[in-house]
Amino acid sequence: MLTQVAEGVLVHQSALLQNNAVVVRGPTGVLLIDPGITDDEMTCLANDLSTAGQRVVAGFSTHPDWDHVLWHADLGEAPRYGTARCAEAMRDLRSQPDWQARAAEGLPPEIAEEVPLDLFGLITGLPAGTAEIPWDGPRVRIVEHPAHSPGHAALVVAERRVLVAGDMLSDVLIPMLDDPDADGTADPIEGYLVGLDVLEGLADDVDVVVPGHGSVGGTGEVRVRITLDRAYVEALRDGRTPDDPRIGPSARPGWEWVSDVHDGQARSLARGSERDGPPG
């Protein structure tokens, strides 16, 4: 079911991980952002659009995680865009002879058989520095930043004052850090904090935030969620236990596993600190 969150902007949410597929209406069709995770859900979305007399004229993937680069034949053959780094990550994966098996490794077991992979990751990379999605609808700004994953981008539907945040600013998921580069030069903590600073710079331009997972936030919610995410990341950086409602006894029912994600991130960072040793 499509739910309107702003004029001409609608959201279709998945059942399992509360993935938010975002639809932006234009004069000749719609822009579809991160379209969903199961065959049935994407078929339902395609049917809803068809019933409304809409066709998909462009797609966009906010980043290269498996649940944001899926597609379904019923959605048509519109160009599917992403940042250059997002598209590069998908090309690298699909160039492997066992890419489908690699992609399937990350799927939740309860829906693994329901996720179509034939059109997985077929993303056209936009040149670095591209400021807007190339389509004939409302202006949609592309804001790339280093948080969460390579090539991650937030989108601002400028005329509708909507921020599509990708896998950030969720009310159910904690910040999930990118893995360090193989050579150890990337700092996932600092990269995430930079990304939050970038999003904070957009806060005055938006009234609605749509995270990749969880509830849509209204007026003022962008800054509230940035503050919560920043406090979590800074606690990890400083080796403190975060006071965060998304983990521990206060976690939302059905999302208790997020505490396990936190424990894994905390252990990983602690091991990294032990390897680096005290400053010399």
Please list the residues that pair with 257 across neighbouring strands.
none
DSSP E strands, 120-199: 124-126, 140-144, 153-157, 162-166
Cβ proximity of 141 and 132 under 8 Å:
yes
Cβ proximity of 104 and 117 under 8 Å:
yes
**Is beta strand 30-33 parallel, antiparallel or unpaired with respect to 56-60?**
parallel
- Tracing tokens 């975060």 back to the chain, one arrives at 242
Model pTM score: 0.94
Longest dimension (CA), the chain: 65
Taking all residues of the chain, what is their mean pLDDT, rounded to a whole number? 94
Give the single-character DSSP code of 74: G
Domain definitions of the chain by residue range: 2-276
pLDDT of the residue at 179? 76
Instruction: Return the exposure string of 129-162: e unless at least 16 CB atoms fall within 10 Å of the residue's CB, then b.
Output: eeeebebebbebbbbbbbbbbbbbbbbbbeebbb
CA distances from 214 to 18, 70, 100, 172 (A): 5, 19, 27, 6
pLDDT of the residue at 276? 56
Q: State which residues of the chain have pLDDT below 50.
A: 182-183, 278-280
Give the single-character DSSP code of 120: T
Superfamily of structural domain 2-276: Ribonuclease Z/Hydroxyacylglutathione hydrolase-like (3.60.15.10)
